[in-house]
Amino acid sequence: MSEETKANRIWLTTAQAADRLAVSKRTLMRLRQSGAGPRFHKRGQIVRYRADDVDRWMGGDTSREAR
């Protein structure tokens, strides 16, 4: 399994993603709600972020428009 494939399998909680981005959970929640934050996946009330999506967003390579 390649390193890229492994990175795609790492899922972060909101708290972990916020720590990785050096922002509060509340700030990350606001970014998510406005569509300005990193990509996320939601099932019911559970929100998870792929580590590579968080890293890409932090690097400025991705953006999402608000819906």
Question: 3-class SS at 41?
Answer: strand
Q: Which tokens sit at 67?
A: 């819906």
Spell out the domains of the chain, with CATH numbers in brackets. 3-58 (1.10.10)
Mean pLDDT is lowest, of 16-20, 36-40, 58-62, for 58-62
- The whole-model pTM stands at 0.77
pLDDT of the residue at 23: 98
Say if strands 46-50 and 41-43 run parallel, antiparallel, or are unpaired. Answer: antiparallel
Maximum CA extent, the chain = 35
CB of 7 within 8 A of CB of 41?
no
Report which of 26, 28, 27, 24 is spatially closest to residue 54, judged by C-alpha positions: 28
Q: Which tokens sit at 24?
A: 């509060």
